[in-house]
A and B are shown apart, each in its own frame.
Chain A
Amino acid sequence: MAINAADTVWVLISSALVLLMLPGLALFYGGLVQRKNVLSSMMHSYVAMGVMAIEWVVIGYSLAFGEGNWFVGGLGNAFLRGIDPNSVTGTIPTYAFIAFQGMFAIITPALISGAIVGRIKFKSYIAFIALWGLIVYAPVCHWVWGGGFLTGEALDFAGGTVVHITAGMSSLAILAFLGKRRGYGVDSLKPHNVTLTLVGAGLLWFGWFGFNAGSALAANEIAAVAFITTLIAPAAAGLAWMALEWHRLGHPTALGFSTGVLAGLVAITPAAGFVTPMAAILIGVIASFICYEAVEIKAKLGYDDSLDAFGVHGVGGITGALLTGVFASVGATGLLLGNSGQLMTQFEGVVLTIIYSIAGTLLIGFLIQKTIGLKVSESDENIGLDKTQHGEAAYNI
């Protein structure tokens, strides 16, 4: 097929929008940690832009989208071999497609960093995301989008499974090695600056229009569907979270609203181009309720998923993937239109992704633990990672 100019423009702009989610994520997480860990938390997002971008063009793209088997792509496109400026994917230049998909490969491991702030060695984090991109992300991406066994079966418009379930479940798994922050449940580990978190949440939402509507890979009516649902679901989810907090704790917090927005964004991701705006409201509200409970239960169980990477991305991703099987009505049919098979397919995709993400992450965690170690020393953790890992301070007198 020939290159379509409008489609190309939209995908290129969307790619840039998705990259803007990284500073957004850095601010979102950076505000939630203590003063002594601000830069180290933000660097988790920023260094992902370096490591994952290079990994993607060297080998990641080939493993995810190259010709391969049911499980993983081959090495045929390693170093982007066989692709030139005239290559076309769908109606856009292949380079545009690679760039757009590369943004997803960048942000997904960065999401995991929210679970492990304040206690992972920087070099171990780099090793972790590099291995995770190859062992977990690339295969799952291949399953769902790249010609693997779930392609064309499970509905995942923009990455509820590929991005959010993989990142969320891996967040939970890596805690097996990193445990809690020192002082968890004893000392004050309150967010040091919620204003940063709110700015971050705003940037994430803005970038998410590229993430979801860009996933149409065309400037067409499906992109518009994904765009409006990306506006509506987070709005409903933010309000629902705020209402829950107001009712249960007495105050509608800014942090609660922005967490709700994020849960709504995660949940609408797999459904974005498949559902109507009215269904998006329901998806947002349901996801907010479920994530709210998940965050509470997780705290009671003593998991220090510090910034709710599992509670929001894992649980929100699962909720969204299953609800896509219920509400799909645009270009696909879900349970409400009598297609119960779709919900089963969604369920299968979710379960396999959960199992695979956890297993892969445990393997990577084990390898790093046995070689360079994962966790910083007690004294480094007390002093803070900004000073001990980076030799910098976020705030100086």
Chain B
Amino acid sequence: MKYLIAMIRPERLDAVKRELQKIEVNRLTVTSVAGYGAQKGHLEIYKAMEHEANLLEKIKIEIAVEDVFLQPIIEAIKTGAKGNDGYIGSGKIFVLPLEDAIRIRTNETGPDAI
């Protein structure tokens, strides 16, 4: 089992969801977060003062997956998050090993609980 964390642009969320639905992945958790990477934020000019606004709004997606689904899900997120242009700041995907999963209602564990 793997735990997958993806950081994407907020405006690509709907496209990513669409791509995931195409391969019938219909479980995910989304958080609105702030951060920056290679893009180093951007400069905002506000009331004539320059602010180095390093923190950009991003969307964090988290999905627990069985190993066989990992590659298709990564492809789907890449397709959705990149769009037509895929310029700097399109985001990243991290894959973590997942030790266990427990469904609270039924006590199922492991892949059955995902």
The contact of B11 among A36, A391, A392, by CB within 8 Å, is A36
Residue on A with the closest CB to B14?
A187
Given contacts A391-B44, A391-B45, A392-B46, A397 and B34 within 8 Å (CB-CB): yes
Number of interface residues of B (CB under 8 A): 14
Given contacts A186-B18, A391-B45, A397 and B55 within 8 Å (CB-CB): yes
Q: For chains A and B in complex, what number of residue pairs have CB atoms within 8 angstroms? A: 24
Q: Does chain B have a CB within 8 A of A383? A: yes
Q: Is the CB of B18 within 8 A of A382?
A: no
Chain A residues engaging chain B, CB cutoff 8 angstroms = 36, 183, 186-188, 379, 382-384, 391-393, 397
Residues of A close to B18: CB separation below 8 A = 186-187
Report the minimal beta-carbon distance from A189 to chain B, rounded to whole angstroms.
9
User: Complex: how many Å from CA A188 to CA B30?
Assistant: 14
Q: Does chain A have a CB within 8 A of B10? A: yes
List the 6 closest pairs (A to B, CB-CB), nearest first.
A187-B14, A382-B11, A397-B34, A383-B11, A183-B14, A397-B55
Q: Is the CB of B14 within 8 A of A397?
A: no
Residue on A with the closest CB to B35?
A397
Residue on B with the closest CB to A382?
B11
Q: Does chain A have a CB within 8 A of B52? A: no
Q: Is the CB of B34 within 8 A of A186?
A: no
Q: Is the CB of A379 within 8 A of B85?
A: yes
The contact of B14 among A188, A383, A391, A392, by CB within 8 Å, is A188
Residue on B with the closest CB to A384?
B11
Report the minimal beta-carbon distance from A161 to chain B, rounded to whole angstroms.
40
User: Complex: how many Å from CA A92 to CA B83?
Assistant: 61
User: Complex: how many Å from CA A239 to CA B27?
Assistant: 39
List residues 5-63 of chain B with CB under 8 A from any CB of chain A: 9-12, 14, 18, 34, 44-46, 55, 57
Residues of B close to A183: CB separation below 8 A = 14
Residues of B close to A187: CB separation below 8 A = 14, 18
Q: Is the CB of A397 within 8 A of B85?
A: no
Residues of B close to A391: CB separation below 8 A = 44-45
Q: Is the CB of A36 within 8 A of B10?
A: yes
Residues of B close to A384: CB separation below 8 A = 11
